Structure 1
Amino acid sequence: MAKQIQHAIFAAIIAGVIIAPIFGFQILRVGMETTLKPDWPMIFWGMGIVFVFQLIRPKVLALLSKRQQTISLPTLNSKTRQGLMLLLVAAALVWPFFAGRAQIDIATLVLIYVMLGLGLNIVVGFAGLLDLGFVGFYAVGAYTYALLYHWAGWGFWASLPAAGAMAALFGYILGFPVLRLRGDYLAIVTLGFGEIIRLLLINLYPITGGPDGISGIPKPTVFGYVMGRRAPEGEITFHELVGWKFSNVDVIIYLYLLALVLALVTLFVSNRLMRMPVGRAWEALREDEIACRSLGLNPTGIKLSAFTIGAMFAGFGGAFFAARQGLVNPESFTFIESALILAIVVLGGMGSQLGVILAAVLLTVVPEIARQFAEYRMLIFGLVMVVMMVWRPQGLLPVKRPHVELKA
């Protein structure tokens, strides 16, 4: 007990040192003088909360571990699982017709992060390669569509495969320098790749528009008909074709349904890949590269395939992001986006597809609900991640890996 009290006092002091410069002082301007007013209650409250948390943490962790051992989730057979999945997809298809505009817009953003999370899950969760520059592939897909429209007049559906192919090409190119790297060194190289992409987009002003980006990117069409209020000269809109009255909500619903289809395709393809030999090779590489090589597998091709396929899904998500926003600029593809996508994969459970979907919903919807705490968003985000790593380091829904136990 004495040792726990010592740890709690030390943690409270560290918390006070961190809280004091950020929340513990107020800058007051009186006439020509500027003074700092300490907010002692805020500092002591923060230290007290940390002290109490450190005292009760061992008991809470022991209680949670016992509860996890006693709770067993019912196992579902394949038919029940497929029926439940079809029911969820049907609910997702019907839901936007009864929801508000803001809710549909947030759900569309969630589906974009689901696509990105599933793509990064291939690299990090399946193959075990830590990638901190995944946002670079996201940017490549977005700018591929923007540039093809700006310079060649291509539409969304013609640019979507090109965006995926271009991002996959960049993933393949990135794979070569990192073939001999693992762990921290791999993370540093991929982080540098993401920053190089962003700086290139800023500096190639004649092509990419520099910091201003590219605007006026059109929304996806419906069988060649414009989903908007007005169509180009000589064409008709989709609403005029079917005889509907135009509404901006219809465009938002269409973008949501399109994002849902892309997310489902990403989920289906990644799920099938895991059951194929390439998926088993990713798992072997993640567990032990030396053992993987001894089995006759080629780690070079396995790494390249993981980077290439994961980057392809990021390219699809980037093209859809550009179509949804109508504007792309380098500030949309900073390192914080890579950190958020990686947090989705880690929080959901590396290798777990359902966990990635759940984490994408939580990390996207919760900040939108708590907008009144916008200035504390990153603080709350960091606190939640720390608590999760202490309480459940394997993630919300960890994937169940097949194993064999030998009796003594």
Structure 2
Amino acid sequence: MNMPKQNKKSALINAVALAVLLAVVAYLGFSRALSSYLVGIFWLSCIGIIMATSLNLTNGFLGQMALGHAGFMLIGSYSSALLSLAMVRAGILAGGGAEQLARFVICLIVSGLLAGLFGILVGIPALRLRGDYLAIITLGFGEIIRVVIQGIPWAGGDGLSQGSASPVLFKTGLGFNNATKSHYMLFVGLVTVACVSAIYTFIRSRFGRAIISIRDDEIASSASGIDITFYKVTTFALSAVFAGIAGSIFAACYSSLNTGNMGFMASVNYFVMVVFGGMGSLTGSIVAAIGLTSLNEALRSFDEYRMLVYSIVLILMMIFRPAGLLGTYEFSLSGTISHLRNRISKNKQEKEAQV
């Protein structure tokens, strides 16, 4: 079945806009026009976008309350770091350039799949519950993963860094230096776009419509023949896959890893991004991830007042926009252009009628 002409035009406009955006990112990255501080914010924003949109898949579109999303990120980051270290020690893709990129891609894929596997294992028993019970179970899972990894000697004990698990971990196995992070901006941007596009396509598919119907009325969905458990577990696992990918990017972003960076507060932080942007809006999650990440980093020098300002912003948002910044609205460039064109045409017709 051929794509309608209007949809083709819409897809073309969005593709061109995306290509221009990525071209700008590529230029800024390869020319090293941005400071290391701004490059770091870019990486953290990409991580936040993947985490917030994937969590929105479970909390917003599926309607299940999960509070342990950082646990899957933790699995992805440590599995990526340890796999990269093992490959370097074995002399497999241990060089720089194309070999480093290939090693990074392999780590991304493996960390995503491993996190997805844990998502299935946790989701099968947990998703038979709902509401507060599910939130408590997922929260407990995140803490269990953190404590287990924290106690594994070959995983770095209290953290993976240049001085703990391996003396060569920072140089070749885990973190990128500032120059490498700048050069990899385009790749990280592409991965982020691919993840968000995959989630958006999933939501707009027949599968996505099924999980939205489960959110709206689980009993009616079950009566109409929808396998509730299958759809819940699959969505939860897919959400975990993207969290694992975000964890792999996190591992590459920093020269050290510590389980404390991906504990309960990290899960709450990503949950706040979802609520802030709007549960059921991928656009809202993207805007919230960029905005809150930038705000958090901008206030880092005012450490005593940082969380105070952060909390006030969130309270004001909940008072004046309880459904979130965008609610369930999704931005479409082609739709916006079409709306502006129609408005201009309407104004022109009104002026001609007055004459």
TM-score by length of 2: 0.78
1:374 and 2:303 are equivalent in the alignment: yes
Pick the aligned partner of 1:123 from 58, 64, 74: 58
Pick the aligned partner of 1:147 from 82, 90, 113: 82
In the alignment, residue 79 of structure 2 is paired with which amino acid? T
Moved more, 375-384 or 260-269: 375-384
In the alignment, residue 169 of structure 1 is paired with which amino acid? L
Residue aligned with 1:272, SS: helix
Q: 1:359 aligns to what? A: 288
Higher RCO (Cα < 8 Å, 6 or more apart): 2
1:198 and 2:138 are equivalent in the alignment: no
Q: 2:341 aligns to what? A: none
Q: 1:41 aligns to what? A: none
CA contact (8 A) 1:140 1:167 kept: yes
In the alignment, residue 306 of structure 1 is paired with which amino acid? T
1:94 and 2:23 are equivalent in the alignment: no
Q: Deviations over 1:115-140 (max 9, x none)?
A: 11121111112111111100000000
Change (3 A) 1:299 1:114: same
Q: Alpha-carbon deviation of 1:167?
A: 0.2
Residue aligned with 2:126, SS: coil
Root mean square deviation, CA, Å: 2.5
Q: Alpha-carbon deviation of 1:365?
A: 0.7
Pick the aligned partner of 1:209 from 156, 168, 171: 156
Pick the aligned partner of 1:135 from 70, 76, 96: 70
Residue aligned with 2:64, SS: coil
Q: 1:285 aligns to what? A: 214
CA contact (8 A) 2:161 2:170 kept: no
In the alignment, residue 288 of structure 1 is paired with which amino acid? D
CA contact (8 A) 1:105 1:256 kept: no
1:331-346 mapped onto 2 (5 Å cutoff)? 331-346=260-275
Q: Deviations over 1:374-406 (max 9, x none)?
A: 2122222222111111100111122249xxxxx
Moved more, 262-271 or 89-98: 89-98
In the alignment, residue 132 of structure 1 is paired with which amino acid? L
In the alignment, the residues of structure 1 paired with residue 66 and residue 169 of structure 2 have an alpha-carbon distance, to the nearest angstrom, of 29
Q: 2:117 aligns to what? A: 169
Q: Deviations over 1:24-56 (max 9, x none)?
A: xxxxxxxxxxxxxxxxxxxxxxxxxxxxxxxxx
Q: 2:344 aligns to what? A: none
TM-score by length of 1: 0.68
Q: 1:188 aligns to what? A: 136
Q: Alpha-carbon deviation of 1:84?
A: 4.1
Q: 1:347 aligns to what? A: 276
Q: How many correspondences in the alignment?
A: 301
Residue aligned with 1:131, SS: coil
Q: Deviations over 1:288-331 (max 9, x none)?
A: 11111111101101111111101001111111211221322212
CA contact (8 A) 2:25 2:185 kept: no
In the alignment, the residues of structure 2 paired with residue 90 and residue 317 of structure 1 have an alpha-carbon distance, to the nearest angstrom, of 22
In the alignment, residue 147 of structure 1 is paired with which amino acid? L
Unaligned residue ranges in structure 1 (runs of 5+): 1-76, 222-226, 229-247, 402-408
CA contact (8 A) 1:137 1:315 kept: yes
CA contact (8 A) 2:22 2:186 kept: no
Higher helix share: 2
Change (3 A) 1:219 1:276: farther
